Amino acid sequence: MNKKTDRFRVSHSLLTLWDNNKIDQAVSTYFHIGGFDSPAMQQGRDLHKKWQDSILKDKKLTVGANTFKFDTPVVEFGDKGELNKPYNELWDIGGRFDALDGTTLYEFKSGVKDSLDYAGGYQIPFYFLLAELSNIKIETAYLIHYNQHTDKADFTIIHNSPWQIERVRNWIDSNAHEIFTYFKDNFLIGDTTSSYVPIDFRLAIC
């Protein structure tokens, strides 16, 4: 839950798990219970941290044969690295931007899927919408991918547009209300306008 308002928070990860019918995993992810980390996931986090440090220190990032230069970069800004904004009267949407430089968003990926595979998903449009709700202007996103198994890299450029915003809003609207209703009906959350939190989950919520 959002500690400040106790409002329901919908993230791209939560929506993706739900959309793939991984209900138990979605609940556990929301309450930060257990873990689904693999060595590859930890490796990816370590790589992302290394890239972010390089961006802040050198104002450039080299991935494979590609070098990206930055002017005024910011990494994982917001409250403890997260950005949360009201979506409607019932819930917020939130996420973490890997890096932002002016009106350009940078999202980092690693593993076997290439950047085009990720570009067809909803994460970047979700971040476009989150930025719009936060009055942050984003025109373009660079989705940078590195395959640590083959030592190859690629990137895809995604342009913000009303179509991207409408597309992700439809995805959110088709899943988020169902998630919210499931959590309410199964007493996983209380009244989002109150400070009630189920006692069994109190220590797990952040």
Strand partners, 69: 60
Does the pLDDT of residue 43 top 50, yes or no? Answer: yes
The Cα 25–Cα 181 span in angstroms is 17
pTM of the model: 0.86
Which of the four pLDDT bands, split at 50, 70 and 90, describes residue 38?
confident
* Ramachandran bin of 35, using left for φ above 0, alpha for ψ from -120 to 50, beta for the remaining angles: beta
pLDDT tens figures, 114-137: 999 999 999 999 999 999 999 999
3-state secondary structure of 50: helix
The Cα 93–Cα 154 span in angstroms is 29
**Percent of the chain scored above 90 by pLDDT?**
72
The Cα 166–Cα 40 span in angstroms is 33
pLDDT tens figures, 163-188: 999 999 999 999 999 999 999 999 89
Tokens (6 digits) for 186: 């199964």
Number of H-type helices and E-type strands within the chain: 6, 10
